[in-house]
Copies of this chain bind each other. A is one copy, B any other.
Amino acid sequence: MRRDIFQAIADPTRRAIIALIALQALTPNAIAEHFQTSRQAVSKHLRVLTECELVTQQQHGREIHYSLQLERLQEVDHWLSQYRKLWETRFTQLDQVLSTLKNQKK
């Protein structure tokens, strides 16, 4: 199933998982220890994250290590960038207003 990354990061638990594995790969059991939910619930979240390619798996014997695919977050960054342009323009305009006011005081 093709998943939407925005829907994937909508859940707070999934964002917490992302934060956990950002620096080092972890197993589902290791991740589940940080929450009050079952390992299976964490597995379901990992499946959603895997389906939108936000995380990848590395098998080590019977353990599976999940790690974050940082680059995928750039899709969100790209979506944001169109609006970032707008709010930066707005700040620039505010700066201009402020300096105009400053000059009038002189």
B-contacting residues of A (Cβ < 8 Å)?
4, 6-7, 9-12, 15, 19, 22, 70-71, 73-74, 76-77, 79-80, 82-84, 86-87, 90
Contacts and interface: CB of A to CB of B under 8 A. Distances in A.
A77 B77 CA distance: 7
Contacts of A12: 4, 6
Given A4-B12, A12-B4, A22 B70 contact: no
Nearest to A12: B4
Contacts of A84: 73, 77
A34 B10 CA distance: 25
B77 A73 contact: no
A68 B76 CA distance: 18
A89 to B, nearest CB: 10
16 contacts: A4-B12, A6-B9, A6-B12, A6-B15, A7-B10, A7-B11, A15-B79, A22-B83, A22-B86, A71-B87, A73-B80, A73-B83, A76-B76, A76-B80, A77-B84, A80-B80
